[in-house]
């Protein structure tokens, strides 16, 4: 087992560090370098079919659901197709409305999650075509879907998902750009610029991993906390949910992710002297609003770690500590800002002496509904 961990103490840490490679693998063969365009030959979708898609449902569980939340933003922004997102165990029981031109995208690392598989079958029964984003070729979900996009993350052993999540994000970027190309909903030059930024992500992730020691120090500082809060807006909110889930899963510290603007409608009552808050701010059009939310929690005594873009000086001044993210296209920032959150969860769990790779009560793949 030690050999399989490649010298890392745990599978989770190994998988976190594998992300530059898993992102590269997931992009490989799907980018036309000369044209700086996305190609997805594995999808059997004609340009007419893509142009005709009226609505997309994204359905998944756990971390894959959080990736789907980013996918919704990406597809709506780039391809201008309305997207609804559902937790798989909720989807079937709310009688979703399918039309002939509805595409259902299911996301599953294992391809075996019972609720996601049941949602896929429900969509097919209702005449929707189904596209699966999965890490396991030959899994039940891959076999039953009409179209399959595999994430090339390699086997993920740790229960807490890391490299599968970031590869799922890459799959959504590729899909969003591909749909936009087919629909001509984006200028070719904007597509090319985004593809270029996408290709920089693996090196940028590597750079963030180089700061693991600072992040470890932060994790040690929160290990005695009973509760934590994550705040963000838009894409940062979606990433906050994933950061909060990671922390809960393996450190057993209760944490809550909140859309920063909703704070004053309830959660602000829980902020008191010394409450630890992690605030994400990677979206330039939301910087100012985030600074004002941070000021609100700090006025009640919160101690805030900001996860922010390198050049966001105003935000740096408003927080107690800051973790810097290299500049990128705003839609791509989730791939970068989730890395410190994965490391925070990992090092907190280690410093508490928990079984990082096999957290209590949880399973890697949930095959019961």
Look at the alpha carbons of 283, 297, 339, 107 in this order and tell me if their dihedral is positive or negative.
negative
Q: Does the annotation mark 364 as catalytic? A: yes
The nearest distance, CB 342 to ligand G6P, in angstroms, is: 12
Q: Which of 62, 68, 330, 340 is the binder for ligand G6P (CB under 6 A)? A: 62
Q: Which two tokens stand for residue 241?
A: 């949910």
Q: Which of 299, 362, 367, 369 is the binder for ligand G6P (CB under 6 A)? A: 362
Q: Which residue has the closest beta carbon to ligand G6P?
A: 62
Q: Which is nearer to ligand G6P, 175 or 323 (CB)?
A: 175
Q: Which two tokens stand for residue 171?
A: 């799959």
Residues 177-216: x/- map of binding to ligand G6P (CB under 6 A)?
----------------------------------------
Under rule CB under 6 A, residue 169 binds ligand G6P = no
- Annotated catalytic residue within 101, 124, 223, 364: 364
Under rule CB under 6 A, residue 63 binds ligand G6P = yes
Q: Which of 81, 159, 308, 333 is the binder for ligand G6P (CB under 6 A)? A: 159
Site for ligand G6P in 111-140 (CB under 6 A): 113, 116
Distance of alpha carbon 234 from alpha carbon 240, whole angstroms: 10
Distance of alpha carbon 233 from alpha carbon 239, whole angstroms: 9
The nearest distance, CB 363 to ligand G6P, in angstroms, is: 6
Under rule CB under 6 A, residue 158 binds ligand G6P = no
Q: Which is nearer to ligand G6P, 135 or 204 (CB)?
A: 135
Under rule CB under 6 A, residue 108 binds ligand G6P = yes
Q: Which is nearer to ligand G6P, 250 or 324 (CB)?
A: 250
Core vs surface per residue 186-203: b (16+ CB within 10 A) or e: beeeebeebbebbeebbe
Question: Among candidates 264, 262, 257, 349, which has minimal Cα distance to 299?
Answer: 264
Q: Which is nearer to ligand G6P, 65 or 218 (CB)?
A: 65
So which residues are the catalytic ones? 364
Task: By CB under 6 A, name the binding residues for ligand G6P.
Answer: 61-64, 108-110, 113, 116, 159, 161, 362, 364-366
């Amino acid at each position: 087992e030690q050999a399989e961990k490649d010298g890392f103490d745990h599978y989770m840490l190994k998988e976190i560090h594998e992300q530059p490679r898993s992102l590269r693998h997931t992009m490989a063969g799907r980018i036309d370098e000369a044209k700086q365009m996305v190609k997805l030959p594995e999808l059997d979708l004609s340009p007419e079919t893509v142009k005709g898609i009226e609505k997309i449902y994204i359905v998944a569980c756990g971390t894959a659901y959080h990736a789907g939340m980013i996918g919704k933003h990406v597809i709506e922004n780039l391809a201008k197709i309305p997207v609804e997102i559902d937790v798989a165990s909720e989807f079937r029981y709310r009688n979703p409305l399918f039309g002939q031109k509805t595409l259902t995208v299911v996301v599953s690392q294992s391809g075996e999650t019972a609720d996601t598989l049941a949602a896929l079958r429900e969509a097919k029964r209702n005449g929707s075509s189904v596209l699966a984003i999965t890490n396991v070729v030959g899994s039940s979900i891959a076999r039953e879907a009409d179209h399959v996009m595999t994430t090339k993350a390699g086997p993920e052993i740790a229960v807490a998902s890391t490299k599968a999540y970031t590869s799922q994000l890459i799959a959504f970027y590729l899909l969003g750009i591909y749909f936009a190309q087919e629909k001509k909903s984006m200028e070719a030059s904007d597509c090319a610029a985004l593809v270029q930024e996408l290709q920089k992500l693996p090196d940028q992730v590597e750079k963030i991993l180089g700061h693991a020691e600072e992040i470890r120090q932060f994790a040690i500082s929160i290990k005695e906390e009973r509760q934590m809060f994550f705040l963000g807006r838009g894409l940062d909110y979606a990433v906050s949910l994933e950061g909060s889930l990671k922390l809960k899963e393996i450190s057993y510290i209760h944490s809550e992710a909140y859309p920063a603007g909703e704070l004053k409608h309830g959660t602000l009552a829980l902020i008191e002297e010394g409450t630890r808050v992690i605030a994400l701010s990677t979206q330039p059009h939301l910087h100012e609003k985030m600074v004002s939310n941070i000021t609100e929690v700090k006025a009640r005594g919160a101690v805030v770690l900001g996860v922010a873009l390198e050049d966001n000086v105003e935000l740096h001044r408003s927080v107690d500590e800051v973790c810097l993210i290299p500049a990128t296209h705003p839609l791509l920032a989730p791939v970068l800002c989730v890395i410190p959150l994965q490391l925070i969860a990992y090092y907190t769990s280690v410093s508490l002496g928990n079984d990082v790779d096999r957290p209590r009560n949880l399973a890697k793949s949930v095959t019961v509904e």
